[in-house]
Amino acid sequence: MSSPTRSGEPPALERRIGPVQATAINMTQMCGIGPFVTIPAMVATMGGPQAMFGWIIGAIVALADGLIWAELGAAMPGAGGTYLYLREAFQYRSGRLMPFLFVWSAVLFIPLIMSTGIIGLVQYLGYLIPGVTDEAGTTPLGKIIGVGITLVIVLALFRKIGQIGKLTTGLFVVMLVAVLATIIAAFSHFSGAQAFAFTPGAFSSAGDGTFWGGLGAGLIIAIYDYLGYNTTAYLGGEVSSPGRTIPRSIIYSILGIMSLYFLLQVGVLGSLPLDQIKTATSVASSVLEQAWGTGVAKVITVFIVVAAIGSVFAGLLGGSRVPYEAARDKVFLSVFGKLHPKLHLPTAGVLTMGAITIVGSLFTLTDVINAAVATLVIIQSLAQVAAIWTLRRRQPNLERPYRQWLYPVPTLLALVGWVYIYVSATWLSIGLSVGWIALGAIAYLIYAKAENTWPFGPKEIKEAFASTETEGVQA
């Protein structure tokens, strides 16, 4: 546990998040509203019950990538996650360019992913409150409610990290109840023949095989639903015993959520007609109503909404720490490097990401998912594949409390998976992601000129974690 801040010293992050809380934070962020709103899209995209295998393949990619996060997070347990890893790996050749581009992008894609949670929970509120949704989607009333919920979440983040850990654990329990209740309801009216009635020729590699034809788009949906297994890596500066806690929280959360998603998908397929699943806006509520009636369905729907709120809460909690660490290194605006004097949280990061979440919640779910995932892949996922290779070569003596199992097989598998997912995104999303990175490169050149750093000045090589002697020291 961190010692209290002495008089005259700037406030510092406190290591208060233990193993159970860490896993709960990851799983709450991963689940949230995701599968409840994307199951219909997954079934429609992949053409039928074969959608269940989309979750398994997505989990394999997530686990391979998670093992990259596990090694990097355990070796460099500070606030900011990917920012730290890219800073340490790429400083030798391109100075601060890569960490700058990551922060530039993360301030956009992290809150965009959170905004999908707001969009989804408003869809489920439509089951509870007339006028929130209609056949065309979310109504103006629904958008106003979404904005209001986001503001409440941001306000809830203004508390000490110890209190946040307890709150997140409570939200995790609510999420677990909602998912398990839906699974039990689905299997109480389950038809195996219906659940496994695969479309004829669906797995054919020739012709119109719906599985292979829709796999790319399906993986975008699946990986979106798994995102969040890395939240504790973003919170590395606030995790106790990070060398053990971070890897375990990542691996346990992926395996746990994969099991829940697969059971949920199979259960829904066996309890509702395929056509109804494809067009449902609140598919879980329909399953619950069929099994136990409207009253129980409304109660569990409230739990689903609360789970979605918990997901957004956990995501903004971790994401707000990214610009904080960059600002402390003078790679981002200095205002992001200031902590609240009493609560010890990065105020500017919380407020900025909350504002972008509000803006993103005003758009459609599929558009936001595609834009967020495409931007994330190009500057985070692929960059970290390169980072783990680079750090193994450049910093062989870096203390690694966890070393990736079967290295480099998981890293290569993650690389193949991420490239496939990226090229499967819409052309608009790919174009926007490339454009955003190009704009960031221009912004970096302006910054580098002002700071007289590479390419306009010398590179500063500082292996911050290589000289760390104890697990708890932060860069």
> What confidence tens digit (pLDDT) does each residue in 88-105 have?
999 999 999 999 999 999
280 vs 121: CA distance, rounded Å: 14
383 vs 255: CA distance, rounded Å: 24
Report CA 102 to chain centroid distance, whole Å. 15
Tell me whether residue 457 is in a domain.
Answer: no
Per-residue pLDDT reduced to its tens digit, 373-409: 999 998 999 999 999 999 999 999 999 999 999 999 9
10-residue mean pLDDT profile of the chain (475 residues): values are 46 79 88 85 87 92 97 91 93 93 91 92 91 82 95 88 70 87 94 88 68 87 92 89 95 94 94 89 92 95 89 84 85 85 86 95 88 90 96 94 96 96 91 93 92 90 70 35
* Alpha-carbon torsion, ordered 10, 352, 227, 398, to 10 deg: -30
| Three-state secondary structure of 237-255 | HHECCHHHHHHHHHHHHHH
166: containing domain: 19-451
Alpha-carbon separation of residue 163 from 81, 112, 210 (angstroms) = 22, 26, 47
348 vs 217: CA distance, rounded Å: 35
Residue 79's SS3 state is: strand
Tell me whether residue 142 is in a domain.
Answer: yes
Share of the chain above pLDDT 90, in %: 55
For residues 132 and 209, is the Cβ–Cβ distance under 8 A?
no
Tell me whether residue 300 is in a domain.
Answer: yes
361 vs 365: CA distance, rounded Å: 8
Give the Cβ contact number of residue 156 at 10 Å: 15
For residues 314 and 98, is the Cβ–Cβ distance under 8 A?
no
Q: What is the pLDDT of residue 12?
A: 63
Tell me whether residue 209 is in a domain.
Answer: yes
Which amino acid, 64? A
Tell me whether residue 10 is in a domain.
Answer: no
What CATH number does the domain containing 127 carry?
A: 1.20.1740.10
Q: What is the pLDDT of residue 167?
A: 74
Which amino acid, 198? F
Token representation of residue 327? 């600002």
Q: What is the pLDDT of residue 466?
A: 80
Beta strands in 52-146 (DSSP E): 133-134, 137-138
Nearest-5° Cα angle at 40, 35 to 46: 105
Q: What is the pLDDT of residue 6?
A: 42
- Residue count of the chain, please give it: 475
Per-state percent for the chain, helix, strand, coil, to nearest 5: 70, 0, 25
85 vs 91: CA distance, rounded Å: 10
Task: Look at residues 247, 263, 226, 251 and name the one whose alpha carbon lies nearest to residue 421.
Answer: 226
97 vs 141: CA distance, rounded Å: 43
Q: What is the pLDDT of residue 133?
A: 85
| Three-state secondary structure of 258-320 | HHHHHHHHHHHHHHCCHHHHHHCCCHHHHHHHHHHCHHHHHHHHHHHHHHHHHHHHHHHHHHC
Tell me whether residue 473 is in a domain.
Answer: no
Q: What is the pLDDT of residue 470?
A: 36
Total count of domains within the chain:
1
Tell me whether residue 144 is in a domain.
Answer: yes
Token representation of residue 93? 């050749």
Residue 17's SS3 state is: strand
443 vs 455: CA distance, rounded Å: 13
Token representation of residue 260? 């829940």
Task: Look at residues 364, 383, 365 and name the one whose alpha carbon lies nearest to residue 422.
Answer: 383
Report CA 71 to chain centroid distance, whole Å. 18
Alpha-carbon separation of residue 71 from 159, 236, 323 (angstroms) = 30, 12, 22
For residues 198 and 187, is the Cβ–Cβ distance under 8 A?
no
Tell me whether residue 374 is in a domain.
Answer: yes
Which amino acid, 461? I
Residue 461's SS3 state is: coil
Alpha-carbon separation of residue 187 from 161, 180, 191 (angstroms) = 39, 11, 8
For residues 240 and 324, is the Cβ–Cβ distance under 8 A?
no
Per-residue pLDDT reduced to its tens digit, 222-262: 999 999 899 899 888 889 999 999 999 999 999 999 999 99
